Every structure is written in C-alpha cells, then in structure tokens.
Structure 1
C-alpha cells in the first residue's frame, strides 16, 4: 500500500524529531547508588555533582542518582562496577578494604578529628597510591573520597558512659572488619546487617542498638525507636564515590578529568554542608525526646587502641599520624 503524501510527511517529521532528540542524549551515563535518603545533607552534594558535571561536559556525561539503595546493597553495586557497569556508589573504606587493605584504616577509631582532619588524608599523595592499588586489585576507580558524613555515635535505649555499659549489647554495624573490631573493642557485640533493616531490628529488639552518624538517624527516623545517643565519635565517617575502572577508562580523557575534579568539589559541598547541619540535627533529636549525651571519651579511646594492631595498621597509622602532625 502506498503512503499518502501527508502520511509520508508525517513519518518523515517523526523521524526527524527522533534524530533530533537523540542528538541531545548524553554520550555517557553514570548511575550513582547511595544508602542515604534525599533528606541527608550529603545528598545536596550529590545533586551539585549532577548539575556541575552536566555543565562541565556540556551534557556529554549524565549522572543519575539512586538514593535509599535503589540499585541494591553497596557490595552488589561494587561487584557490578568490577565487571564494567556504568555505576558508582558512595561507600566507606571498610568495604573497600576487602580489595585493598589500606582503605580500612579510614574507618579505624579516632584516626582524625572532624572533616578538615580526615580530608588531609584522603587528598594526600599517600592516599593516591592506595587509589592506584585499588584499581589494580579490584578494577574500581575512586572519583573522590572526601564525602564526610559526620562522626559516628552510639544509639541505645539505655544510658552509656563507659565501654562496660555495652557488655552483651548487640550493636548493628557494617560487616567490614574495621567496624566489627571497633564495636567489639568498645564492649558491644557487633551485628552486621543492612542499614535499611536497622529500624525494624530496633523495633523488634533483634538488635539492642546501633552506631551511626547523626544525619542518618534523622534520615532513617531512628529517633522513633531509640532513646539515647551517646556522642562517642568513635569513627570519623569519610566515604568515597567509587566507580568502574573499565568504564572510567572508556571515557575521553577530558571527561575523566572533569569527573574526578567535579567529584572532589562536590564532596566539599556535601561535607561542609553536613558539618553545618549537625547542630540543628542534634537540636531536632533532643526536641523529639532523645537524650543526647556528651561523655568522657578517654575510656573509649583507650579501649579501641588495639584495633590498629589487630588489623595490621600499626605502621600505616604512623604514616598517617606524621601526615597529620600528630
């Protein structure tokens, strides 16, 4: 059957529209997974990353965000990245330590103070050697590792002032050795589970508490199922934006440079935003009825000192301390 002139014109017009829309599609797409909710102050840094990468690359590289672990647990996304998938994940050093051991020290107890302290570590020449080792060991590419989520504290339903108060308490923590050894050293029973399950775990008493940074408390509404927050600050939670080395290497060099530079800038936006939000978050938690306590940290610092030796980080800690002037 022959097309009428009008139909032919219509089809040609549709084809032109399709071709035009395709011309504006990004050449590359990166899907970023995070366990954080959109209300977390760190998420604003991710949104800035999306916008700034789009501007910097003139739309050639599109970044898509997937909060609340929509792409799956961090470990699953890391495995996808290993085989070349165009995915990235906001992840802590403990989870990367299974591929390259040095990363684990970033989650070790009382390593550095606040964001400015830990930032010196993750932007150093020493850290960049770890980045290259990770690429070789697992096929992961660090875009930047300056995504600070705050210091982690203890969440329980009873007062805690010393390590002995944690005796026998099942405390949720990520499963990486640096986390479990820290909780064990503080006196608790480390209980690994996905963060998404923490609320129900506390509600059903399958765990007695958890340790987490303040923004995540609000993001997961944990103030509804715990009564006490003890500000131990035992882990200075620094995380990184990690993607596939295979995918990263497939990018033109200018996009590789843009991606790493914009990730570093966005990490600062996220981290300083987090720092500025902490006081208000603490006020909101107190207003909700949670008791937030400052304590003498000395017993916890002393109790966790042996974690470095247990995990083989004694010499590496000396290098980090020299860098920090400690």
Structure 2
C-alpha cells in the first residue's frame, strides 16, 4: 500500500509540473539565447527606409544587449516584397517593408490606406496608420500569419514617370505603366486611363530602357535610388498614393520572442518609422533638384481630374463605407 501511495504521489507531482509547463506563461528573456531578425526591402542603401531600419537595428541591439540581433538587406537581396511576405508567413525570421495594398489580400480593409487620394499628406497618413481603426485591421493580420511591428514608414507621394508629357488622365491612355500587382493599385492606374503592368521593382529600369513598359509610378526616393531619372523624361506630380508603409514580420517568429523583447521591438519600430519618415520629408526637395539637374522635367498639374477618375476604385472595391470611417478618423466630411 505504501508503495502504491508513493507512486501516486510521484505521478501527481509529475502531472502538476506538466500542467505548469503548458500554462502558456511566457518566460523572461533567456540571458544566454540570442535571436535574429532579417529585414528585407527593395530599395537601396540610400533610401530613408534603409536608414530607418539601421536605426532600428542600433536601438534594439542596444536595449537587448545584443540578444536580439537585426540584419538589414536592401535592394531585394532577400527577394521581392511578395517573397519576403511568404517567408514571414510560414515562420522564417524575416521582416519586410511592405505596403497596405499587398496586405489587403489577407485583410481587405487595410488596403484602403493605399487607396487613391485617401489621405492628402504625411500627417493625415500617420494619423490613420496609428489609429484604433487601423490597429483593428492589423490585429486581424495575425490570424493570417503576419505581425505588424509598426506602420508609420512614410515613403512619399507617388507620381507618374513617363517619356511623354502628362497633363490630364487622357494623356495616360494606352501607356503601359508599371505598378505593383495589387487590385487597388492596378485598378487606380486603369481608372486614370493607363494600362497597369506588374513588374518587380528591380525590372523597372531595364523595362523602361527596353520599352517593355512606357512608364511607371513611384515616390521620389525610390525613383532616384533606382536611377530611373536616367531613363525617363517627365515626372507628373499627381500624388495619387501617399505611400505609408509598414514593417511586418511573421506571427510565428514573433511569438517565439520573450515578451520583453517583443515590447522593445514594437516600441523601437515606431520610433524608427518616424525617423525614416522624417528623412523622407527632409529629402524630397533635394531629390527633385537632383533629378531636374539630370534633365527630368517635373510638372505640377491640377489633380482634380485625376481624383475624379479614381472615384470608381472605391465603388468597385466596395470601399465607400470604409472610406467614411477613415474620414471620421481624419476629421473630414
């Protein structure tokens, strides 16, 4: 009988220990374990997004005493944005600077941040990207395998890049314009009269050079960084997208971090996004001056006709009601 009672006691203690291990409690940071996050992006080392990622690396490694290491890979070294999203989704230790239009394939509502003329400037874009409304959409991404570290990485407003002058939407008719392959972005370019053509960013320069495409649309830092001013004659400042992007990693990888490191990474990602955004804003005039000096004509046009042409995008993508919610956040009628 004593032996039986002893065995039962040992079994009970063992079950208690197992229950404690499965309680879901997150351990404190393991002093001996190191973690690595690889950040990939399509832009070059001169781009504000790269500089922001390097600022993130510096601050996160300092606060974690080197236990959470970050490596930054510009110029598509780790693959395209779509490639990196897929890697993150399945649990790889990667993060990517990505846009809301791509993430809309998982959570449609988030795509409105990349809809045409949804915001008019950086301040409005940041207000939306840091709102409770946006956070609700970001939370939904977790069930699709993504974790938004921050979404306040402003890359500038996007304009048309062509070799023929563009003054109104009719001038875009028949032009093959490179734009990312998301439905909202392609629908926007189509609504303005052009033929949207999906190419990876690294293929835009040779595509323009070899006349595979007639033009593209992008923000100044990316245009200058990719030397596109060498193969275009005109930049038409339509500002059809305010490109507010985010730093996104995989939910599987993020959940392996101790809570202490999770908090540090989230806090520093917001700070780094603001750092990168300021670099963008401070450099826009300089980019324009350099591209003008290289022979590019930069035209300011009346954007009212372009805005009117893109109204159909909200209807086709069933974003009319969601746009009203966004306007409430922004204090617009």
TM-score > 0.5 by shorter chain: yes
**SS in structure 2 at match of 1:264:** helix
Q: Deviations over 1:112-153 (max 9, x none)?
A: 1221110011111111111111111x1100000001100000
Q: 2:18 maps to which residue?
A: none
Equivalent residues in 2 for 1:1-326 (5 A)? Answer: 27-136=34-143, 138-326=144-332
SS in 2 for 1:149: strand
Aligned 8 A contact 1:26 1:62 in 2: no
- Secondary structure (helix, strand or coil) at the match of 1:237 reads strand
Question: Hey, what's the Cα distance between the residues in 1 that align with 2:147 and 2:211?
Answer: 39
Query: Deviation of residue 26 (structure 1)?
Result: 6.5
Q: Distance in 1 between matches of 2:169 and 2:267?
A: 42
Local SS of the residue matching 1:211: strand
Give SS of 1:151's match: strand
State the distance in 2 between where 1:127 and 1:117 align. Answer: 13
How well do the aligned residues superpose, as a CA RMSD in angstroms? 1.3
Q: Is the 8 A contact 1:135 1:245 kept in 2?
A: yes
TM-score after normalising by structure 2: 0.89
Any idea what the Cα deviations from partners look like across 1:55-79, whole Å, max 9, x if unmatched?
1211110010010111111111111
Does the 8 Å CA contact 1:163/1:186 hold for their aligned counterparts? yes
Deviating 4+ runs (over 2 angstroms): 23-26
Q: Number of aligned residue pairs: give it.
A: 303
Tell me the TM-score normalised to structure 1 length. 0.91
Q: Distance in 1 between matches of 2:121 and 2:33?
A: 38
